[in-house]
Amino acid sequence: MHIFTLKAESDRGYARNRFPRIVPSVLFRTRVRDDSIEGSNPYRWQDVSSYEIFGSKKVLLFSLPGAFTPTCDTMQLPLFEKLAEEFYLQGFDDIYCLSVNDSFVMNRWAESHNLEHVKVLPDGSAEFTRAMKMDVQKDNLGFGVRSWRYAVVVENGTITHWFLEDGKDDNAEEDPYKYTNPAFILSRI
């Protein structure tokens, strides 16, 4: 199933197909701008917990194989940025783009797109991606471990909707982009 809504109170922990129902508890290693730091790299390390991102709010998280890769860079991220206001009108507090890339790459990618509405979230060690059961090998492309393309709606730390592309498998030849298209997601929430 590509899209499913999780509403049953008795469905604790994991959803159908054994996907998590509760957002995994991890620390994201991020780099944040700090104007007190001089020089060409005015950023400092800041650990951010899953709770800080997903607790006490409604969040849309979409995950993709990699920053600067063709579909992610030319279609998915720009369209989420373009349609962000429509998500906010639906009651979302934040929109996050996650990828198995480090914070340096994710920050540079956000900068290259002049993002104003979508926040980037680095999962450099794929810890969150593995806990979400969305990790796949992309050795056929020289990428190593990456995230399968998916999106979730999270309310107060609980995943209420999953949007998952077909064909999740290691070294998949195809890179589908249908169910995680922001226009499609908007039509289903």
Catalytic (active site) residue 97: no
Instruction: Give the three-state DSSP class for 41.
Output: coil
What is the token pair recorded at 76?
A: 């998915």
73 with 108: CB under 8 angstroms? no
Q: How far apart are CA 140 and CA 83, in angstroms?
A: 33
28 with 119: CB under 8 angstroms? no
In the DSSP assignment, the letter for residue 176 is -
Amino acid (1-letter code) at residue 127: E
Catalytic residue among 23, 59, 72, 98: 72
Instruction: Give the three-state DSSP class for 130.
Output: helix
Instruction: Give the three-state DSSP class for 75.
Output: helix
Catalytic residues: 72
